[in-house]
Amino acid sequence: MGACSSKHEDTHLPVIKRNNCTDMEQSTKKNDPNVARKRWSFLALYTRGPAYYFFSRKSSSPTTNGKTNPTVRRFFRRAFQPLTRAQHMKAVLARRHGEGKEGNVRLNKSFGFSKHIRHKCEIGEEVGKGHFGHTHRAKFKKGEHKGQQVAVKIIPKSKMTTAIAIDDVRREVTILKALSGHDHLIKFYDAYEDHDNVYVVMEFCEGGVLLDRILSRGGKFAEDDAKSLLIQILTVVAFCHLQGVVHRDLKPENFIYASKDKDAELKVIDFGLSDFISPDERLDDIVGSAYYVAPEVLQRSYGREADVWSTGIIAYVLLCGNRPFWGRTESGIFRAVLRNEPGFNETCWSKLSFEAKDFVKSLLIKDPRKRLTAVQALCHPWIRNGHEIKPPFDISILKFVKRYICSSSLRKATLQALSKTLTFDELVYLKEQFSLLEPNNSGYISVETFKMALTKYSTDAMKESSVHDFLESLGKLKYRRMDFEEFCAAALRVHQLEGHDRWDEQTKTAYEIFEKDGNRSIVVEELASELSLSPSIPVRDVVEDLIRQTDGKLTYLGFVKVLQGASSRNVAKGQ
């Protein structure tokens, strides 16, 4: 969404697309080959694929006193595929084009938008083109915005060949309208339609997309520059997640600079694949762009964490200059995403701080339960260093608090013991969240304070995403209060801690605390119920090592199993 001064046209590259259009897709001009040769000479080991000719033009990067940006370029020791525009998945494109089932179905393509776009806007030259639409520069003719330059995204109705495609356009407009107002989100003005097209009027941004600046800097940003960009990206991603919106197509092409200034704000665009999601909901629609798609999306069960994975890929690209996963075909990329781990052995990683490397790793954990949320990422030591961050409320906490309140006294005791072993860095996030939920500084929070926090940060999008309905499900617990110590236990993410190197040491310390404060005699049937063991499993054989024979209390292994909430399958395997 939005517009910039150059154009990209995806005519030769593979695209996962669920929408009828992409935004800010730009085409480029052919330049003198000598100029192109000079520009790419420092990347002698690059393989010149189609992307070379696609991007061979003078750099559009901002300058300072006639000099190029000071960010150091990266010299590669080995040849690899250069950065190109990431395509949407072919299967999804085919579905959106209407191949197959819905070809002869009569579709209602009336959206109920105003039909007077020509009265309101003077539409000018085309500045961007995508698979299903194109973007034009325009000006308001009248009203409070008279004379203001805007971008008009034009989506031909002839390309809306499925009900899914029509719903995508309607949802995109709804989300843009509901979310508009955030500093790092493209501003939405209005939507119009006529017999042939839908017109989406948005803020005009002329700074170009993030991918262009990455390429103009030789494929890499300096660490501090990358951090500044990632703070902006995570801030808007966390905002969308709080409102119950998951973007599902985060990539450098979908972030645009407001202007050509070096320090221009970065704004997220193209909500064509976005959807509403409640705190405990899982989506199964495979959408996105191949290089940036999360493994759980390919496995058809995902939530907000998929956006964090995509942000991790962007972080990897900004710091390293290359994507962590590559394949010659779309299926090859998917296999790499599902089977391989991101590599950190490139020369560039040895020159970066340990914190930067740890940050990227924490966003690219394949298990979404162990991956940081966008708000947690904003609290990471690397991000906090040198920046004063005010993270928003993390909507995912609602799910964990509900689960804690409804859990058994035994599980509560294990979580409380584990929470007392948290480090300073792990407590930073929890302190920030507790302060957002404690408006009266009483030292306690309740379901009512959750409601107050959501009301404070709510937009129209939150109403669409059923976040408030989820909160209402806690209504019977409205008089339950928590102090900070119990809140830490309730908001604890055991799977994340389990992925740390100090997990064994941490659980042993927690077990010592549990032995003093919470361990008690437990019968086999109670433990079997706690671990959700199937009746078909020989319970006594499975839990033999989990209960001490001398006093009937939990062993260390039993303590860990209760913490993990192990399934009967895992317990039976002794995992």
End-to-end CA distance of the chain: 47
Q: What is the mean pLDDT of residues 407-433?
A: 93
Q: Which domains are delineated in the chain?
A: 209-384 (1.10.510.10), 397-498 (1.10.238.10), 519-573 (no CATH)
* Structure confidence at residue 98 as a pLDDT band (50, 70, 90): low
Q: What is the mean pLDDT of residues 23-44?
A: 41
The predicted pLDDT at position 388 comes to 87
The predicted pLDDT at position 266 comes to 97
Kindly tell me if the per-residue pLDDT of 567 is higher than 50: no
Instruction: Tell me the C-alpha distance between 310 and 303, whole Å.
Output: 12
The one-character DSSP state at 341 is: P
Nearest-CA neighbor of 547 among 419, 420, 410? 410
Q: What is the mean pLDDT of residues 403-412?
A: 88
The predicted pLDDT at position 475 comes to 64
Q: What is the mean pLDDT of residues 500-524?
A: 89
* Proportion of the chain above pLDDT 90, given as a percent: 50
Nearest-CA neighbor of 230 among 311, 330, 129? 311
For the chain, give the mean pLDDT: 81
Kindly tell me if the per-residue pLDDT of 38 is higher than 50: no
* Structure confidence at residue 569 as a pLDDT band (50, 70, 90): very low
Is 379 in contact with 389 (CB distance < 8 Å)?
A: yes
Kindly tell me if the per-residue pLDDT of 380 is higher than 50: yes
Tokens of 261: 């200034």
* Structure confidence at residue 545 as a pLDDT band (50, 70, 90): confident
- Which helix (H) or strand (E) segment holds residue 156: the answer is strand 149-156
Least confident span in 316-320, 465-469, 494-498 = 465-469
Q: Which of 116-125, 130-139, 442-451, 454-463 has the highest mean pLDDT?
A: 116-125
* Residue with more model confidence, 466 or 361: 361
CB 537: neighbour CB atoms within 10 A? 16
Nearest-CA neighbor of 302 among 315, 324, 285, 325? 285
The predicted pLDDT at position 105 comes to 62
- Which helix (H) or strand (E) segment holds residue 124: the answer is strand 121-129
Kindly tell me if the per-residue pLDDT of 573 is higher than 50: no
Degrees, nearest 5: CA angle 369-231-336: 45
The predicted pLDDT at position 441 comes to 79
Kindly tell me if the per-residue pLDDT of 448 is higher than 60: yes
The predicted pLDDT at position 44 comes to 35
Degrees, nearest 5: CA angle 168-1-219: 120
Q: What is the mean pLDDT of residues 161-188?
A: 92
Q: What is the mean pLDDT of residues 106-132?
A: 89
* Structure confidence at residue 454 as a pLDDT band (50, 70, 90): confident
* pLDDT, tens only, 298-310: 999 999 999 999 9
153 annotated ligand binder: yes
Kindly tell me if the per-residue pLDDT of 348 is higher than 80: yes
The predicted pLDDT at position 83 comes to 66
Instruction: Tell me the C-alpha distance between 172 and 165, whole Å.
Output: 11
The predicted pLDDT at position 275 comes to 94
Kindly tell me if the per-residue pLDDT of 66 is higher than 50: no
Going from the C-alpha of 113 to that of each of 76, 163, 191, 200, 480, the distances in angstroms are: 51, 18, 6, 10, 46
The predicted pLDDT at position 174 comes to 94
Residues with catalytic annotation? 249
Q: Which residue has the tokens 């170009």?
A: 208
* Structure confidence at residue 375 as a pLDDT band (50, 70, 90): very high
Instruction: Tell me the C-alpha distance between 490 and 484, whole Å.
Output: 10
Strand partners, 245: 276
* Residue with more model confidence, 75 or 408: 408
The predicted pLDDT at position 143 comes to 84
The predicted pLDDT at position 90 comes to 63
Kindly tell me if the per-residue pLDDT of 513 is higher than 50: yes
Helices (runs of H) and strands (runs of E) counted in the chain: 27, 13
Is 546 in contact with 554 (CB distance < 8 Å)?
A: yes
Least confident span in 31-40, 241-250, 483-492 = 31-40
Kindly tell me if the per-residue pLDDT of 363 is higher than 60: yes
* Structure confidence at residue 69 as a pLDDT band (50, 70, 90): very low
Q: What is the mean pLDDT of residues 173-195?
A: 93
Least confident span in 17-26, 40-49, 136-145, 487-496 = 40-49
Residues 6+ apart with CB under 8 A from 72: 220, 222
- Which helix (H) or strand (E) segment holds residue 197: the answer is strand 197-203
Going from the C-alpha of 326 to that of each of 87, 167, 185, 330, 333, the distances in angstroms are: 13, 32, 29, 9, 5
The predicted pLDDT at position 451 comes to 82
Q: Rounded to the nearest 10 degrees, how much is the dihedral formed by the CA atoms of 28, 33, 35, 41? A: 110
The predicted pLDDT at position 55 comes to 41
The predicted pLDDT at position 541 comes to 66
Going from the C-alpha of 510 to that of each of 113, 191, 407, 539, the distances in angstroms are: 59, 56, 19, 26
Degrees, nearest 5: CA angle 125-66-57: 45
Is 299 in contact with 283 (CB distance < 8 Å)?
A: no
CB 155: neighbour CB atoms within 10 A? 27
Kindly tell me if the per-residue pLDDT of 1 is higher than 60: no
Is 210 in contact with 255 (CB distance < 8 Å)?
A: yes
The predicted pLDDT at position 546 comes to 86
CA-CA-CA-CA torsion sign (465, 245, 89, 308): negative
Q: What is the mean pLDDT of residues 168-194?
A: 93
The predicted pLDDT at position 250 comes to 97
* Residue with more model confidence, 317 or 538: 317
